[in-house]
């Protein structure tokens, strides 16, 4: 019995020693390496690629919301306010209407810090009108250079874009000076020139209604109540009856704000009595100075007129004291 127990003890000790040796000699387990983090610049480039694939290339306009920050700004010109996401969707919809089959190839993608620069080539057919140029069916190929700023995995700001001038030229467009919009003072002067030509010179008295406002006032004397349009028609009808060949030549004209002034020369031959002077057949030549106030493209107030005293003297009239009443 004693020998059996001793044997068992010896065997146990041998197993223990052997196991220790085996454990000591066994290789340590290989540690599992931690995943290598993706550099921020590579993540930013991947974001930009998805933006171009889904929003620009595929035309999924609603996908834009997943790529941009809430305060996203799309800059098209330093002289213009940036677009927000909604306006950028409208812009892209317009570009796709110009060329519904356009495709792009990203040629350059450069990232550093929070910026990603993109150089790409667009290709497509002009199937829609573009900047007033009718659809031509021509194939266009043009470059685009853009920069985006990334913030927390979203596009926060976006600059650059396609070469619009190249797009215009390839579409068959031409560049010329835009028609100049005349200054308000020039518009007002043109109004008065037309008034003189059509009403006093042309004798089209009904045209006066086109040139004047409903509350038009014609001042003939600082001491008298101004007349309205109907009263001025009667006055002009009387002058043209006396001088059927009445003609006013505008010699000088100036304008500022809502006022226009002209100096002219009026000529006409007296055919009927005028201010008590019998018909003389004489031609009068006098200076005319008038001032107009313009409001909303209409004459509102009107001052001045011909030098009536000079006209009376040229026609042979004399000035004397009125007889007592």
CATH code at 184-314: 3.10.450.50
- Candidates 160, 159, 151, 117; CA nearest to 40 is 151
CATH code at 40-171: 3.10.450.50
Diameter of the chain measured on Cα atoms = 177
Q: How far apart are CA 218 and CA 234, in angstroms?
A: 12
- DSSP state letter for 277: B
Q: Which two tokens stand for residue 26?
A: 């066994």
Per-residue pLDDT tens, the chain, 325 aa: give them.
445 555 554 544 454 445 544 444 556 667 777 676 778 999 999 999 999 999 999 999 999 999 999 999 999 999 999 999 999 999 999 988 998 888 989 999 999 999 999 999 999 999 999 888 899 899 999 899 999 999 999 999 999 998 889 888 898 888 887 777 778 999 999 999 999 999 999 999 999 999 999 999 999 999 999 999 999 999 999 999 999 999 999 999 999 999 999 999 999 999 999 999 999 999 999 999 999 999 999 999 999 999 999 999 999 988 777 788 7
- Is 40-171's fold the same as 184-314's? yes
Count Cα atoms within 13 angstroms, Cβ side, for 140.
33
Q: Which two tokens stand for residue 6?
A: 């001793």
Q: How far apart are CA 293 and CA 244, in angstroms?
A: 28
Q: Which two tokens stand for residue 297?
A: 């493209």
**pTM for the predicted model, two decimal places:** 0.51
Element of type H or E holding 137: none
Q: How far apart are CA 286 and CA 283, in angstroms?
A: 10
- Candidates 167, 155, 176; CA nearest to 128 is 167
**Which sequence spans correspond to the domains of the chain?**
40-171, 184-314
């Amino acid at each position: 019995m004693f020998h059996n127990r001793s044997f068992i003890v010896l065997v146990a000790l041998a197993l223990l020693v052997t196991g220790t040796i085996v454990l000591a000699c066994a290789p340590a387990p290989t540690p599992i390496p931690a995943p290598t983090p993706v550099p921020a610049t590579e993540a930013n480039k991947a974001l930009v690629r998805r933006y171009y694939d889904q929003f620009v290339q595929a035309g999924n306009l609603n996908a834009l919301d997943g790529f941009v920050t809430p305060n996203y700004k799309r800059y098209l010109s330093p002289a213009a306010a940036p677009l927000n996401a909604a306006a950028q969707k409208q812009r892209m919809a317009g570009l796709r209407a110009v060329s519904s089959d356009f495709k792009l190839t990203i040629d350059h993608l450069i990232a550093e810090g929070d910026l990603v620069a993109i150089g790409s080539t667009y290709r497509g057919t002009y199937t829609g009108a573009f900047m007033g140029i009718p659809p031509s069916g021509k194939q266009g190929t043009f470059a685009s250079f853009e920069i985006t700023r990334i913030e927390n995995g979203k596009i926060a700001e976006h600059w650059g874009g396609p070469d619009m001038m190249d797009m215009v030229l390839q579409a068959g467009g031409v560049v010329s000076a835009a028609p100049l919009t005349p200054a308000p003072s020039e518009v007002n002067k043109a109004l008065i020139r037309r008034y003189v030509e059509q009403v006093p010179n042309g004798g089209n008295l009904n045209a006066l209604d086109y040139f004047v406002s409903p509350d038009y006032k014609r001042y003939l004397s600082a001491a008298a109540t101004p007349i309205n349009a109907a009263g001025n028609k009667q006055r002009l009808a009387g002058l043209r009856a006396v001088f059927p060949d009445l003609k006013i030549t505008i010699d000088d004209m100036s304008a500022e704000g809502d006022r226009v002034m002209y100096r002219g020369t009026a000529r006409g031959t007296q055919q009927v009595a005028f201010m008590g002077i019998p018909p003389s057949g004489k031609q009068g030549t006098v200076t005319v100075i008038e001032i107009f106030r313009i409001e909303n493209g209409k004459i509102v107030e009107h001052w001045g007129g011909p030098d009536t005293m000079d006209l009376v003297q040229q026609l042979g009239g004399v000035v004397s004291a009125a007889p007592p009443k």
